[in-house]
Amino acid sequence: MYLGLDLGTSEIKAVAIDASGTVIASAGESLEVQRPHPHWAEQDPADWWRATQTVVARLRAKMPQQWPQICSLGLSGQMHGAVLLNRDNQVLRPAILWNDTRSAEQCRQLTLSAPELHEVAGNLAMPGFTAPKLLWVARHEPEIFKQVATVLLPKDYLRWMMSGDKVSDMSDAAGTLWLDVARRDWSDSLLAACGLTRDHMPRLVEGSEASGVLKGDIARAWGLGDNVTIAGGGGDNAASAVGIGAVNPGDAFISLGTSGVLFAVNDRFSPNPQSAVHAFCHALPERWHQMSVMLTAASALRWFCQLVGSNETTLLAEIAQMNKAEQRLAPIFLPYLSGERTPHNDPLATGAFHGLTHSHQRAAMGYAVLEGVAFGIADGLDVLSQAGTHLTQCSLIGGGARSEHWAQLIADVLNLPIVTHQGGEAGGALGAARLGWLAAGGAVAQVCHKPTIEKHFLPDGERQPMLTARLAMYRQLYQQQLALRPA
């Protein structure tokens, strides 16, 4: 048996799989994000550990007979977050998360001070990445920065709590802007640009390699045996790719979680930072991937449901009753509630509804939210195409994949066949469990098979003219927002 733990932004998930790759049980525990100031997003790492203990106990209770058979585990997690430890391994401040945009000025600073950044890290400096966060701490919290002895990514903080080892994997480390992504090693020059050295960094392993073992006292408290292997694991999207079987060049998926991701596998490092495309290491050796990332996806639907006092199931049912004429007259929604990455790299971008009238009910606005997210994914597909990545089909995973209406809308907007998979909502947790299996000796061909396709969604050609016109308006509205922004 193999355990996977996925530390998301809004939830920590756990799954257990058996030696055939079948999911035996799953569990989750929700998490909250603190926003003490505009553009800030933080979490207390202690809350992650408490949630981990809770979710492990819940999973154990669901499978009491099989639970002691777990021999290895893998970790997946939200990328880019900065957990700062002092020399006594005490957390110095709340973790600054991936969707925190306070460090825009530090991005400009890093770009100027490290001219090799784009070539070595393969990415633009964006507020979501880890390196600008440390520059922000150095500038605004210098007493804390002086005490920093170790910088860990979120999932790697859990690893340290479980094993006492400070280790990261290539895919997660690639999201720091401190990794030489082609060489799969820390870059001394990029670290120096932030006042750091290798001594501040965890040891690096591949995601499918063993990083250590579960400490004896944790293993006993969890009801597990000695020598439970902990895999290197992966950043959430790379781990999700392993879970969905996207491990070979040409494989691709869309993830509709808190953020929205279009992920394509490459056999070489293929950066295109000018279009805000991410180029990272995959969680498996000798593989890389390109990503377009939008900062607000399924979280936009949750936000809107809270505003109108509904729930997602009810609102989605109302949206599904709309006809094409009602969809054509729906407002246009810009989903930039947390700024945007691909293709704009604009932390100051904001969300908006355009074209509201008295006749619009919440279903029309809800449809606009789904459509706006699909349009953001279309922007990402465009820049991936410009970077030489051409897709013929795409898997859809994450919480948003539960909506067939949304899946069909994405197929129509992208003009691309979309497939969903059995267990696709498990995402990073399933991939983490598979990485645990690989670290225990499993073979990639056996472990990383594609899950059974649940449904196909083919593009509806009749909707193309309407959606094309609305996509053009969506793009124009962002340009107008830029023009109206104070200098």
User: Which residues line the annotated binding site?
Assistant: 79-80
Q: Which residues belong to the annotated binding site for substrate?
A: 79-80
> Coil, strand, or helix at residue 82?
strand
Backbone torsion region of residue 323, taken as left when φ is above 0, otherwise alpha when ψ lies between -120 and 50, otherwise beta: beta
Q: In sequence order, what are the residues at sequence separation of 6 or more whose Cβ sits closer than 8 angstroms to the Cβ of residue 458?
A: 411, 417
By CB atoms closer than 10 A (0-12, 13-18, 19+), residue 354 is middle
Give Cα 22 distance to the centre of its chain: 24
Amino acid at 351: G
Q: Which two tokens stand for residue 55?
A: 């979710």
Q: Which two tokens stand for residue 35?
A: 């926003």
Pairing of strands 83-85, 234-235: unpaired
Q: Give me the catalytic one of 236, 251, 346, 379.
A: 236
Distance separating alpha carbons of residues 340 and 128, to the nearest angstrom: 10
Distance separating alpha carbons of residues 167 and 172, to the nearest angstrom: 11
Distance separating alpha carbons of residues 420 and 401, to the nearest angstrom: 7
Confirm if 328 and 466 have CB atoms less than 8 A apart. yes
DSSP 243-290: HHT--STT-EEEEESSSEEEEEEESS----GGGT-EEEE-SSTT-EEE
> Coil, strand, or helix at residue 181?
coil
β-strand partners of 332: 354
Q: In sequence order, what are the residues at sequence separation of 6 or more whose Cβ sits closer than 8 angstroms to the Cβ of residue 88?
A: none
CA distances from 140 to 96, 106, 205 (A): 13, 11, 33
Active site residue 236: yes
DSSP 354-410: ES--TT--HHHHHHHHHHHHHHHHHHHHHHHHHTT---S-EEEESGGGG-HHHHHHH
- Kindly provide the b/e burial profile for residues 441-458, where b requires at least 16 CB atoms within 10 angstroms of the residue's own CB: ebebeebbeebeeeeebe
- Which phi and psi (to 5°) does residue 448 adopt? -100, 40
Cis amide leading into 347 (omega within 30): no
Question: Catalytic amino acids?
Answer: 236
